[in-house]
Amino acid sequence: MKDIGEEKIGESHEEHEIESEEKDRGEEIEIDEDRLPSRAMAIHEHIRQDGEKEMERDAMALLWSAIAAGLSMGASLLAKGIFHVQLEGVPGGFLVENLGYTFGFVIVIMARQQLFTENTVTAVLPVMQNPTLSNFGLLMRLWSVVLLGNIIGTGIAAWAFEYMPIFDEPTRDAFVKIGMDVMKNTPLEMFSNAIISGWIVATMVWMFPSAGSAKIVVIILMTWLIALADTTHIVVGTVEILYLVFNGSLHWTEFFWPFALPYPCRKHLWRHLLSLPC
């Protein structure tokens, strides 16, 4: 029985194995700055290998991790809403209020949960290096599973915030205000915001290999910048907008347009540009 189980696991792994030159040669590229042309190439190789590992993961493992990430991203709306209430009227309070936006990112990234926007850089590098139909299929599989899981998780978080007896009215009103501030943007403004936030997140991913023990500082600074610039992140924004839907402040069709549908395409623009080898 054990042999049969091991055989099934092996078969499943082979089905999702990415195609790459080093696997064809039977050897891996060592991430050694002294042997690579530049530090930038070492970082590129580090991110590419991380992307390969994510693309080869089992679909159910990806889905559960993505759902967990969606739930965790609810912490961004939670913290920002609480700070908004407690700091109302305090000079410079918006700085601390927007710091709350970083909470979900810290949880998700440090716990290595599957976040759609982080995967759009790491996963695209192996495909750009070896653009085969098989690799492209694995990329689409990863993106679709993780995006679905993130939406499910954020939906559960938004539902819980609205229907469970947890928050007082001022905090609920703060959640509504945060979501409405997003929906005040025109489609063109949302397009522009997504390009900026996509660039910031993609840059953050490139910084991780060099960050070392300061990784959490990088996460806080870069995602805090997204909030201070009043741009919108697709996963955090999904929590905010779905809260409005469950609250009755917004019709469910408005979640898809003008908010959700255009965002992945906009963000991929920067991420694909920043995935090019240095």
Q: In the prediction, which pLDDT does 197 show?
A: 87
| Within-domain flag for 24 | no
What digits encode the pLDDT tens for the residues 163-207? 999 999 999 999 999 999 999 988 788 878 888 888 899 899 989
- From the list 92, 120, 114, 104, the residue with the least C-alpha distance to 223 is 104
Domain annotation covers residue 170: yes
Residue 97: pLDDT band with limits 50, 70, 90: very high
Question: Which of the four pLDDT bands, split at 50, 70 and 90, describes residue 115?
Answer: very high
Residues 115 and 262: their CA atoms lie apart, in Å, by 18
Q: The domain containing residue 268 runs over which residues?
A: 38-273
Give the tens place of pLDDT for each residue, 201-247. 989 998 998 899 999 999 999 999 999 999 888 899 999 999 999 99
Q: Longest C-alpha distance within the chain, in Å?
A: 67
CATH number at residue 202: 1.20.1080.10
pLDDT at residue number 270:
47
pLDDT of residue 4: 46
Mean predicted lDDT score pLDDT of the chain: 84
Task: Examine residue 215 and state whether it is found in any structural domain, yes or no.
Answer: yes
Structure tokens at 59: 């679909």
What does the pLDDT read at residue 216?
97
pLDDT band (50, 70, 90) for residue 105: very high
Residue 94, domain member (yes or no): yes
49 domain residue, yes or no: yes
Q: Are 219 and 204 in contact (CB under 8 A)?
A: yes
Q: Percent of the chain scored above 90 by pLDDT? A: 55
Are 266 and 117 in contact by the 8 Å Cβ rule? The answer is: no
* Total domains, the chain: 1
Q: Does some domain include residue 23?
A: no
Token representation of residue 264:
């992945």
User: Is 33 inside any structural domain?
Assistant: no
Nearest to 161 by CA among 77, 259, 65: 77
| Whole-Å CA distances, 260 to 159, 163, 217 | 18, 23, 29
Residue (of 193, 195, 170, 169) closest to 183 by Cα position: 193
pLDDT of residue 242: 97
Kindly state whether residue 6 falls inside one of the protein's structural domains. no
Which string of DSSP letters, residue by residue, matches 140-169?
A: HHHHHHHHHHHHHHHHHHHHHHHHSTTS-H
Sequence-distant (≥ 6) Cβ neighbours of residue 81 within 8 angstroms: 100, 167, 171, 174, 175, 178
